Amino acid sequence: MSNSLPLNLKHALPRGSALVCTAAVGGLIFVASAALARPAEPIDGFRHKIAHSIAKCRGGSSPAVLVTIHNVKNSSGTVRVQSYRGIKQEWLKKGKWINRIELPATAGSMTVCMPIPVSGAYGIAVRHDVNGNGKTEFSKDGGAMSNNPSFNIFNLGKPSYKKTRFQVGSGVQKISINMRYM
């Protein structure tokens, strides 16, 4: 009998679920109990770079966030919008973003539709890379997050997930974010 499993259990069960394996004469028996109070884990993982499409927010039949970004300093460089699950283990952690949309900056206000895999608690982070070099330069670039928490040099621009998370249901959730520059 092979030791490898016929399916990837990492994505078969929600995070926090218990998995018990018992050997039986004909093979393996799996018993799973899901933690129902916890939001479901996106089944397709992290780091999805997606193209912007405002149409994904028009129907309202799938979870999405319609993000209006105010106070964009100028039309140079790029604006990056990233979605995270609203939990401590993932908020602003390297490689733990779910979806990323990058688009040319537009001075004033911009509206972005961010698809979300499933209903639950999420946070949105926005960065304006003013010169488009792909590097974070605190003296030039702007930043913002869902719920517009205060941030400064003392918390390194990383407010708690508790201050930035919001709920997304089965449709489109509208939020407004205000860009900040040093």
pLDDT grade for 44, boundaries at 50, 70 and 90: low
Per-residue pLDDT, 16: 41
pTM value is 0.74
d(CA 172, CA 116): 9
5-34 tens-digit pLDDT:
333 333 333 444 333 333 333 433 333 333
Which residues fall within 8 angstroms of residue 142, CB to CB, at 6 or more apart?
71, 72, 73, 127, 128, 130, 179, 180, 181
Are 88 and 60 in contact by the 8 Å Cβ rule? The answer is no
Is the predicted pLDDT of residue 168 greater than 90, yes or no?
yes
CATH domain 48-181 topology: Immunoglobulin-like (2.60.40)
Provide the residue ranges of all domains of the chain, joining segments of one domain with +.
1-38, 48-181
Per-residue pLDDT, 45: 83
* pLDDT, average across residues 129-134: 94
